[in-house]
Amino acid sequence: MKNYIKHHEWQIIEEGFDPHLHRVSESLFSIGNGRMGQRANFEEEYSGEMHQGSYVAGVYYPDKTRVGWWKNGYPEYFAKVLNAPNWIGIRVQINGQSLDLAKCKVENFRRVLDMKQGVLHRTFVATLPDGKRVAVDASRFCSMHNGEIGAIRYAITPLNFSAAATLVLDVDADVVNKDSNYDEKFWNEVSQQADSSLVMVTAETRKTLFHVTTGMTWQLEQGGKKMDVSPKVISRNKYAGHELAVSLRENEPLVIVKYAAVLSSENHPKATLEQAARQQLEGARAQGFDNLLKAHAAVWAHKWEECDITIDGDVAAQQGIRFNIFQLMQTYTGDDERLNIGPKGFTGEKYGGSTYWDTEAYCLPFYLGTSDPKVARNLLVYRYKHLQRAIENAGKLGFTNGAALYPMVTMNGEECHNEWEITFEEIHRNGAIAYAIFDYIRYTGDEAYLAEYGLEVLIGISRFWAQRVNWSADRKKFVMLGVTGPNEYENNVNNNWYTNTIAVWTLGYTLYAIDYVKRNHGGNFNLIKTKVHLQDDELKQWDRIASNMYFPEDKQRGVFLQQDGFLDKELLTVNDLKREDRPLNQKWSWDRILRSCFIKQADVLQGLYFFEENFDRDTIKRNFDFYEPMTVHESSLSPCVHVILASVLGYKEKAYEMYLRTARLDLDDYNNDTEDGCHITSMAGTWMSLVKGFGGMRVRNGQLHFHPYLPDQWQSYSFRLEFRGRVVKVNVAKSGTRVVLESGQPLEVVLNGQSVPLAVASS
């Protein structure tokens, strides 16, 4: 855990340069725009410890899965998120000395992420080894208005000298992944273009053959006047740049504006990439930095209007929630249905793959509540388009007849994670994909989605569950053997209660959906029925399974059992652990973790959260009281579920403790791993914690319900919801709760059980 980020309502602030915190800051101060993004690396050379990282959405490398003991059905490859060409470089040489903060005395260092406008600022004064002092003021953004454009304004002012200097402005595709085995590189050069106005490098990913063209152009200003300098072109394999000879004059800022274009073959034909990049660069230069920034900031202003959350009386909490919203919004904008929300977004390359069940279980509610419904719908359609791949994935494991198993991790629908205990066994993800359809329809009312896309997905998943269970002659029940639940600190267990629960729920919901589509969209139904060869016998079998499933429980304690045999464990609580044992995944062997009772993340409780309506409060309480004390929250996805259930149970202190853990997980580096990148998907859990936890928001029978309370530490808080064409604002203060309809047709909401009619106030 760390505590060096200054608290501020709208900004993330680092003051003073501590090289030991640099990699953490590189993650925290990352910027992006849904299409591309990058860590907060320095523009100038930096020879200290760092993690250079730029990323382009959708671009990956299929690293062959190499294990000594191959088994049938193992995925072919592990999809690496690719470190992409770096376009930020502005290397400064003065008197043969490189401006390199690892080699200078650094003063007045300040790094600021302005979340309101989406701009990364940095200022510092550096003293070069020979005593020359320069002040630098840099700003950088990836345009939310034009996703292929980035811009940097880099002002350098000599404080105690005048001298000649050399600048190198470049693009560099000779990058390497942190997780590259054997230091393999994943890019080959395709071509370069360089003239006196710009340079461009087109590089191709190995195996996947994505093309990415990265180009840059620039303008110089000194003493407020445009300068013309003839650049010398520098070129080597996968690298091109301009070298500029300039004269620095004491106390006169030299301002470099660098414009970058990053275009990928995902969005352009390969043949026209360079031409399109040139147009983008010329267009950017013509507009200039200030105009580009204005257009970019306008997009952010609009986004914040839709989704801002305010918290009064607790700046740390305010900063935390905005940071989470900011990162989510710059990771996924929802206008490209081929994209998804990678676990590290554009802040790092760890893990790999772009899509986990995080998307459905955690991110979907956030985008539902804060964005146009098409954003959430695109997340669902993404999975619809992968249905055939999910059927193939199940086929590799021996499932037949259109059974679909969605991958644990994917880029393009194929499974690309490579632990059998996860890929074969952590199959509850399949249920989350079905649940997301239900959740989307519940929130938006868009039941027609079932006829259009939803039903086919549900049938594929239900077929999987029906084949995945087996009849236990011993128990005279259906059982589900060999699974890994959400709590990945257990592998290959039998009858994980959560998995059995979501499987049975899926079967029931699919039967409902079939009935609904048949009655309301008969034409679609017949098409689907023919397409997927749906048989009546299947439906009967699904019903039989749903009615005869085995669920492990401890009748004496009145709790559901996470899995068969759970009570054979030594039942300890987190309080029994020594401080130095945590986090367990860094301190204990896997052997010890597996055999312990300790829970990585909500498992039984995840089911109680999803299916809250099916359980009475006492049942939720007994299970929460049993499992919460064993939960170590070593997944970033865990605390939010606990906030929501604790709120239901009135455990306000527990809820607030868990809220801080999710809201400031990265800012305070709770798990000592922010240097690898931020935990993007779990940031949606922070939003849910506040809206569903403290705000008690639910949708029941097409109506918004609220059951809010105010944490003792706060004066008030407010959030907005996009809901069925309206914008509803909720303000919770000590004096009470105010729900206001900001736009859209009148509607009734339910506040603390009471119906409240809302209409837009006439002005």
Our CB check for a copy of itself shows the closer of 340 and 418 to be: 418
Residues 6+ away with beta carbon under 8 Å from 730: 695, 697, 706, 708, 718, 719, 720, 721, 737, 738, 739, 740
What are the phi and psi torsion angles at 302 (to 5°)? -65, -40
Our CB check for a copy of itself shows the closer of 471 and 551 to be: 471
Our CB check for a copy of itself shows the closer of 11 and 492 to be: 492
Query: Which tokens hold the place of 333?
Result: 């904008």
Find the shortest distance in angstroms from Cβ 673 to a copy of itself: 13
Does residue 565 belong to the site contacting a copy of itself (CB under 8 A)? yes
DSSP classification of residue 359:
I
State the Cα–Cα distance between residues 4 and 110, nearest whole angstrom: 12
Does residue 585 belong to the site contacting a copy of itself (CB under 8 A)? yes
Q: Which positions from 56 to 75 touch a copy of itself by CB under 8 A, shown as an x/- string?
A: ----------xxxx-xxxx-
| Residue 744, helix vs strand vs coil | coil
Burial of 363 from C-beta contacts in 10 A (0-12 / 13-18 / 19+):
buried
Does residue 672 belong to the site contacting a copy of itself (CB under 8 A)? no
Does residue 13 belong to the site contacting a copy of itself (CB under 8 A)? no
Which of 45, 564, 612, 742 lies at the binding interface for a copy of itself (CB under 8 A)?
A: 564
- Bridge partners, residue 718, by sequence: 310, 731
Of the listed pieces 2-10, 561-569, 705-713, 731-739, which binds a copy of itself according to CB under 8 A? 561-569
Find the shortest distance in angstroms from Cβ 467 to a copy of itself: 10
State the Cα–Cα distance between residues 374 and 367, nearest whole angstrom: 9
Whether 57 and 263 have beta carbons less than 8 Å apart is answered as: no
Count the Cβ atoms, other than its own, within 10 Å of residue 102: 16
Our CB check for a copy of itself shows the closer of 575 and 763 to be: 575
CA angle 109, 122, 328 (to 5 degrees): 125
Which of 588, 627, 687, 719 lies at the binding interface for a copy of itself (CB under 8 A)?
A: 588
Which of 26, 425, 669, 676 lies at the binding interface for a copy of itself (CB under 8 A)?
A: 425
Whether 121 and 111 have beta carbons less than 8 Å apart is answered as: yes
Our CB check for a copy of itself shows the closer of 155 and 479 to be: 479
Q: How many residues bind a copy of itself (CB under 8 A)?
A: 54
| Strand-strand pairing, 736-743 and 703-706 | unpaired
Which of 228, 536, 537, 591 lies at the binding interface for a copy of itself (CB under 8 A)?
A: 591
Our CB check for a copy of itself shows the closer of 79 and 284 to be: 79
Residues 6+ away with beta carbon under 8 Å from 521: 448, 450, 451
Sign of CA dihedral 297, 302, 303, 307: positive
Find the shortest distance in angstroms from Cβ 585 to a copy of itself: 7
State the Cα–Cα distance between residues 440 and 81, nearest whole angstrom: 28
What are the phi and psi torsion angles at 156 (to 5°)? -125, 125
Does residue 713 belong to the site contacting a copy of itself (CB under 8 A)? no
Find the shortest distance in angstroms from Cβ 206 to a copy of itself: 14
Our CB check for a copy of itself shows the closer of 239 and 351 to be: 351
Does residue 418 belong to the site contacting a copy of itself (CB under 8 A)? yes
Does residue 207 belong to the site contacting a copy of itself (CB under 8 A)? no
Out of 43, 349, 488, 722, pick the active-site residue: 488
Which of 58, 89, 352, 486 lies at the binding interface for a copy of itself (CB under 8 A)?
A: 352
Does residue 595 belong to the site contacting a copy of itself (CB under 8 A)? yes
Which of 531, 592, 617, 734 lies at the binding interface for a copy of itself (CB under 8 A)?
A: 592
What are the phi and psi torsion angles at 34 (to 5°)? 85, -35
Does residue 397 belong to the site contacting a copy of itself (CB under 8 A)? yes
Find the shortest distance in angstroms from Cβ 420 to a copy of itself: 5
Block residue for tokens 């006196």? 196
Q: Which positions from 453 to 482 touch a copy of itself by CB under 8 A, shown as an x/- string?
A: -----------------xxxxxx---x-xx
Our CB check for a copy of itself shows the closer of 245 and 572 to be: 572
State the Cα–Cα distance between residues 696 and 705, nearest whole angstrom: 7
Whether 444 and 368 have beta carbons less than 8 Å apart is answered as: yes
Report which of 370, 374, 376 is spatially closest to residue 309, judged by C-alpha positions: 370
488 assigned to active site: yes
Largest Cα–Cα distance in the chain? 89
CA dihedral of 435, 440, 445, 447, whole degrees rounded to 10: -60
Interactions with a copy of itself, residue window 70-109 (CB under 8 A): 71-74, 78
Instruction: Give the CA distances from residue 331 to residues 30, 33, 35, 283, 700, in Å, rounded to whole numbers and listed in that order.
Output: 10, 6, 8, 25, 30
Our CB check for a copy of itself shows the closer of 44 and 675 to be: 675
Query: Which tokens hold the place of 42?
Result: 């320095």
Whether 602 and 612 have beta carbons less than 8 Å apart is answered as: no
Find the shortest distance in angstroms from Cβ 459 to a copy of itself: 21
Does residue 577 belong to the site contacting a copy of itself (CB under 8 A)? no
Of the listed pieces 106-114, 175-183, 226-234, 604-612, which binds a copy of itself according to CB under 8 A? 175-183
Q: Which positions from 429 to 448 touch a copy of itself by CB under 8 A, shown as an x/- string?
A: --------------------
DSSP classification of residue 568:
G
Our CB check for a copy of itself shows the closer of 577 and 649 to be: 577
State the Cα–Cα distance between residues 431 and 457, nearest whole angstrom: 11
State the Cα–Cα distance between residues 170 and 680, nearest whole angstrom: 30
Of the listed pieces 210-218, 258-266, 493-501, 541-549, which binds a copy of itself according to CB under 8 A? 493-501
Binding residues for a copy of itself, rule: CB under 8 A, are: 66-69, 71-74, 78, 179, 181-182, 352, 396-398, 417-421, 424-425, 470-475, 479, 481-482, 491-495, 564-565, 567-571, 585-592, 594-595
The catalytic site residues sit at: 488
